[in-house]
């Protein structure tokens, strides 16, 4: 029973997923700190508000903290942009570069000059209108 559990844990998928989660959490902490400590004060300096997290409005004595939402939204947009430009775009370029060239298949049919039906390249007579046609390829 324990050997099966050990085998499950050591499979590549589980280990890769665990590493991805740990790296993702660490990356999220970095981006959150970047937004909170650098970007938010920069935007606030332009807008005149020193911290978005203090922004709120009140309706019927209920406080709606939309400043935290703005911080989270800016953080999400930065994470999405970084992932897109530093991971997705290079991976797409690499996949495009490493992909084998598309194989173009030679046509196996042509149009009958009389009725414009599709006929095999080596046909000597059209199956639809029975017109005599020259074969396009030599047939042995």
Q: Which residues pair with 120 in a beta bridge?
A: 109
Average pLDDT, the chain: 82
Residues 79, 31: contact at Cβ < 8 Å?
Answer: yes
**Per-residue pLDDT tens over the stretch 47-76:** 776 567 778 889 999 988 888 888 778 778
Both 89 and 109 in a single domain?
no
Both 90 and 110 in a single domain?
no
Both 77 and 110 in a single domain?
no
Domain count, the chain: 2
Q: Which of 64, 79, 98 is a domain's end point?
A: 98
Q: Which helix (H) or strand (E) holds 13?
A: helix 12-34
Both 59 and 117 in a single domain?
no
Domain CATH code at residue 52: 1.10.1200.120
Task: Provide the domain limits for residue 31.
Answer: 2-98
Both 127 and 69 in a single domain?
no
Considering the chain, what percentage of its residues have pLDDT values greater than 70? 91
CA 113 to chain centre: 46
> pTM of the predicted model, to two decimals?
0.50
Rounded Cα gap, residues 117 and 134, in angstroms:
15
Both 55 and 8 in a single domain?
yes
**Per-residue pLDDT tens over the stretch 72-97:** 787 788 778 877 888 889 989 998 99
Both 110 and 132 in a single domain?
yes
Both 31 and 63 in a single domain?
yes
Which tokens is 77 given? Answer: 């947009």
Both 74 and 135 in a single domain?
no
Both 91 and 131 in a single domain?
no
């Amino acid at each position: 029973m324990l050997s099966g559990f050990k085998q499950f844990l050591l499979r590549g998928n589980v280990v890769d997923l665990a590493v991805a989660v740990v790296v993702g959490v660490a990356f999220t902490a970095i981006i959150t700190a970047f937004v909170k400590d650098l970007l938010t004060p920069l935007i606030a300096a332009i807008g005149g508000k020193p911290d978005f997290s203090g922004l709120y409005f009140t309706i019927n004595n209920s406080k709606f903290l939309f400043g935290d939402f703005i911080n989270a939204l800016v953080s999400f947009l930065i994470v999405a942009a970084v992932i897109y430009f530093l991971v997705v775009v290079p991976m797409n370029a690499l996949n495009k570069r490493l992909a084998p060239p598309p194989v173009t298949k030679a046509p196996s049919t042509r149009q009958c000059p009389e009725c414009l039906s599709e006929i095999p390249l080596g046909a000597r007579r059209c199956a639809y209108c029975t017109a005599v046609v020259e074969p396009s390829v030599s047939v042995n």
